[in-house]
Amino acid sequence: MDTDENDLLFTNTFIPAPELQSEVLSENSSEFRRYYERERSINEEKRLRESIEKMSIRSVYLEEDTDENNMLNTNRFVKNSGTSMKSISGSINQTGSGRRTRDVVSYVSIDSRDRDKVLYTKPSNFKIFLGRSFYNVKSIRLSSVEFPNTNAVINANNHNIYWTNEEDITLNKINAITNTYPEYTVQLRIGSYISTSLQSEMTSKLATVKRRDRVGDYHYFIVTLDIDTDIVTFTSLILKQLSNNSIQTSENTSVVLVNLTDHGYKDGETVYLQGVKTLAGIPSTTMNTAHKITVINNNSFQFEVNVKAAETLQGGGNTVKTGRIAPFKFLFGERSATVAQNIGFPLENSSDLIKTFLQTNCWFSFSGIAKSSPNNETSFCGGGGIFPFTRSQQMYCEKAIAADNAPLPSFPRNNKA
């Protein structure tokens, strides 16, 4: 019959009973006795040591010479004739009389904000309790000093940005509440910024405000903080969305064609592109900037870059936008708590004044009418004073200039357009 070696019945074999002597040899008995006594001694010593460690210090009588924490003992000056050894709390010095002294190192943290600010107004000159009394001090050393930056770079005193748009003047957009052109404002979050994070914060905040007295499209600003030149620039754009893959390249040429229905641009105008992806080997950084364009027709224009296309392609993606610069003016000179000085601007309105137009800002003088065009503006000036007037009054003035000797109109002062 075949048997399976893994079968329990097969492996369950019986062994013979051991043959034991009636008596243990005397030499084996002595050896066991010595082993037993040695183990018992070790265990008793261990229990005694544990009981001593658990014993309260109050139950042990310490004399002056044996108590190392006794103030009288440590306060005596003795000549050190022994050697020193390190311990966890410091160094233990063995003296010639058998007494020991211990050097204890303590660290104390002092914060000037915990001082009595009424008695000590300056954080650099004050007295403060250390939390406990120290005796037998051998030396004091300054371990470290920290000057925490507790003042945020942008705080409640400099977190505002105010501005106005030329577009509102062109469209004669008047705010119904203030009866003036709309004024826009944002507040930056209070905090400590580096150049890149401050740039991102200003860009994102400016993009949360709508144009045209907050009923039009959202503002789009390009903000740059150049840490090498310390120049901060703001560029405001009015953008139009392009259809998907509206940009076309031609192989081995640097001319880029853009298709946009009824773009409204003029030949030689500077136009910005934003959101263009890398196309035909031309990097997106080369595309997403300002370009001087050549108008082909009402639905397309082209521009040239400094990189030749590797192939003929039509692409760019579905996030491409194009637009013109939208002039605006910061009101740093009129409003308080602005970010102006933190980014290098003086506390005055933008130096590039917004251009005004005839329908909203013409001028009349009692003594005579003259026409001039500084900065492409039209004004009517004279020695008797300058006053604003309406479009109908402006047309009368234009006719008066053409007729040369036409009679002067009688207009009330401060007649707003």
**Who has greater pLDDT, 403 or 317?**
317
Give DSSP secondary structure letters for 298-345.
Answer: TTEEEEE-SS--SS-EEE--S--EEEEE--EEE-TTTSSSBSGGGGT-
Model confidence pLDDT, tens digit, residues 141-197:
988 888 777 678 899 999 999 999 999 999 999 999 999 999 999 999 999 898 999
Q: Is residue 417 scored above 50 in pLDDT?
A: no
How far apart, in whole angstroms, are the C-alpha atoms of residue 307 and residue 254? Answer: 6
DSSP-derived letter for residue 188 is P
Cβ atoms < 10 Å from Cβ of 41: 10
Angle at CA of residue 324, ends 318 and 328, nearest 5°: 125
Q: Which of 110-124, 144-158, 256-270 has the lowest mean pLDDT?
A: 144-158
Model confidence pLDDT, tens digit, residues 211-256:
999 999 999 999 999 888 889 999 999 999 999 999 999 999 999 9
**CA count, 13 A, side-chain hemisphere, 203:** 14
Cβ atoms < 10 Å from Cβ of 303: 18
Cβ atoms < 10 Å from Cβ of 380: 23
How far apart, in whole angstroms, are the C-alpha atoms of residue 194 and residue 131? Answer: 39
Q: Is residue 98 scored above 90 in pLDDT?
A: no
Query: How far from 251 is each of 273, 286, 316, 333, CA to CA, in Å?
Result: 21, 17, 16, 52
Among 318, 293, 322, which residue's Cα sits nearest to residue 305? 293
Residue with tokens 């658990």: 54
* 363 membership: H or E segment, kind and range: strand 362-364
What sections of 155-258 are H helices per DSSP? 166-170, 195-206, 211-214
Cβ atoms < 10 Å from Cβ of 161: 23
Instruction: Check: CB of residue 322 under 8 Å from CB of residue 263.
Output: yes
Quick one: pLDDT at residue 170?
92
| Three-state helix/strand/coil letters over 252-299 | CCCEEEEECCCCCCCCCCEEEEECCCCECCECHHHHCCEEECEEEECC
Q: Is residue 97 scored above 80 in pLDDT?
A: no
Amino acid, res. 206 = L
Model confidence pLDDT, tens digit, residues 336-376:
999 999 998 989 887 554 444 333 333 333 333 333 333 33
Domains parsed from the chain with CATH numbers: 160-237+327-343 (no CATH), 243-319 (2.40.30.20), 355-417 (no CATH)
Kindly report whether the global pTM for this prediction surpasses the value 0.85. no
| Cβ-based neighbours of 392, under 8 Å, separated by 6 or more | none
How far apart, in whole angstroms, are the C-alpha atoms of residue 255 and residue 322? Answer: 17
How far apart, in whole angstroms, are the C-alpha atoms of residue 106 and residue 109? Answer: 10
Model confidence pLDDT, tens digit, residues 25-67:
666 677 778 888 888 888 888 888 777 666 544 444 555 555 5
Instruction: Check: CB of residue 252 under 8 Å from CB of residue 307.
Output: no
Amino acid, res. 190 = I
Among 400, 189, 335, 19, which residue's Cα sits nearest to residue 408? 400
User: What end-to-end distance do the CA atoms of the chain give, in Å?
Assistant: 123
Q: Which of 85-89, 324-328, 351-355 has the lowest mean pLDDT?
A: 85-89
Model confidence pLDDT, tens digit, residues 68-82:
555 555 554 444 444
Q: What is the CA radius of gyration of the chain?
A: 46
Tokens at 80, concatenated: 């050190």
User: Which residues are bridge partners to 101 per DSSP?
Assistant: 93
Mean pLDDT of the chain: 76
